[in-house]
Structure 1
Amino acid sequence: AQVEPDSTVRQEAWAVVMDLLAKSDVKKLAVLADQLAQREDAREHLIKLLKIWVGKIPADKPNQRATVRLRLGTVLLTAGRPAEAAGELAAVHARLAQTDPARAGDVWIKWVRALLAADDGSAVARMAENKNDRQFAAVFGALTARLAALKAQKDWDALVRLAGAATGRLNDRLDEAGKRQLAEALAHARGQQQSADRQRVATLVPRLTGTDEPARSAAQGELLVMKSRAVEPLVRELQKAVQSKTSAAGAEAAIVKLLGKLAPELTGYDPTAARGVRVATVAGWLKKLGS
């Protein structure tokens, strides 16, 4: 099937092969798995084969099933499918923790690395539970590598979630250098996130007073979804509207209405008051928010 130049024909041929494999015994599957493992272009087919193999292993042979699932999890991780890999590796770890604790440790490392690669917040919880210094050190390296990757991707939301969770739960396991590394990553990501939030809110606010009703509703909906992260940027936009020399009553009213939903604790604003009074109220809100 692999020598056929036409991709459609190859896919059809592989579909036939997979149907036949579903009827094969585990010995034949093991042989073919070893062959496919030697070919980079056959990784997806190897994954399908390993899943078939796992399904054919009797329930009364859990150790054999764990061995194949470990192989499947490893291939899934290599193929860039960490969430799926984590599911397989979690099951393998649970089995080995009962039957082979020495091997379970290395599988735990792979499992948590898969969770980190999938941006699964439970990775930090698993790290916090682990009391083995070697295993913890191995996955802390994976954690910092993931933080660096998220920074390179400018995925500030994911970086804040991961670094925030790690700072909150892992500090008692870290030396000063490790604590500082997490704190710096979190502070930088929060700053970038706040900057991005301000830019996004500044883009959405003008749409709140536009003539296009669907656009107005969409902008309001997006701001509401941002929840607390929209509050400080909205107050700053309100400050601009109040201080503007041109008429901005529409924007002012729209922002105040949204803030009433997002931050009802911000009280005392009177849209009919003199500009100086409104400016002072907004300044008080910013102070209350720590800005």
Structure 2
Amino acid sequence: MLSNKIKTLKVGILGKPNTGKSTLFNTLIKKKHSIVTRKAQTTRRKTTAVLVKDEKQIIFTDTPGIITNKKNINRGMFKEASNVAFEVDLVLLLFNIKKDSIDDIIESVKYFEKYQIELVLLLNKIDLLATEDFYKRVSIIKDHFKNKIIFSISGKKNIGIDQFINYLIKNKNFINDKPFIQKDLSKNLNYLTEIVREKVLENVHDEIPFNLDFKVEKVENNKDMSVTIHITIFLKKVSYKPIIIGKNGENIKKISMLARKDLEKNFNKKFHLFLFLKVIKYNKNTKSNRSNNDYLG
């Protein structure tokens, strides 16, 4: 278990959509804390996870992808990604080395350089390039950014990950801060809901919107050292219920089982996880006024 204080480094992971941020995110921490699905922009708000090594913790913050076209939602996501950069000690700028043009990389780096933010460049998906193409593209990028730390990686294949993690551990200044995961589970409510959110999205895919709301209703420590958790999933349409429930309740049971296994792995104790679905009817003037509540898994 973590002590009251631990050497801490806060790191933001920023990049355009589909650069492999969520895959890298999960590889870094060796267990899933972010959302990996087939939908673009499923990391719709910043998500945080921790890697503990050599009695130090690195807190990674993953955000919606940086997008530069003119849609309002994309401008909002760009703003949120930019805001994260001011909340961390350094930023990992992630690029798809196969698809991102040199001009795109230069533009992104220049944008954050003007705020005097420390940057480390990660050239991801090197496993998708032929050897000759890889060396050619990396050489061009390194020649242009001679004053930048650059790592060539594959988040999917776990190539180059240990190298840049060790670089952070050995070369960056860590400050004393509280542990990210607290002993008291009631202080980890967002983390609990993100685990369930991930499992829901992995098992329903494109059939329902990814912007579901979740609420931890109960966290109870039992005499046998196990933990009982009740989480409500809020739905905007009745038609979403059978999709999440599945035939004979098989889908909701699978979601509950997978989430429970992740919790038990991460906290090293037994969990009893109960999921509820609540349908909320929204109108223009009131946030909600009619609901159906079912215990499902």
Do they fold alike, i.e. is TM over 0.5?
A: no
> 1 or 2, which has the higher strand percentage?
2
Larger Rg, first or second structure (1 or 2):
1
* TM-score between the two structures when normalised by the length of structure 2: 0.23
* TM-score between the two structures when normalised by the length of structure 1: 0.24
> 1 or 2, which has the higher helix percentage?
1
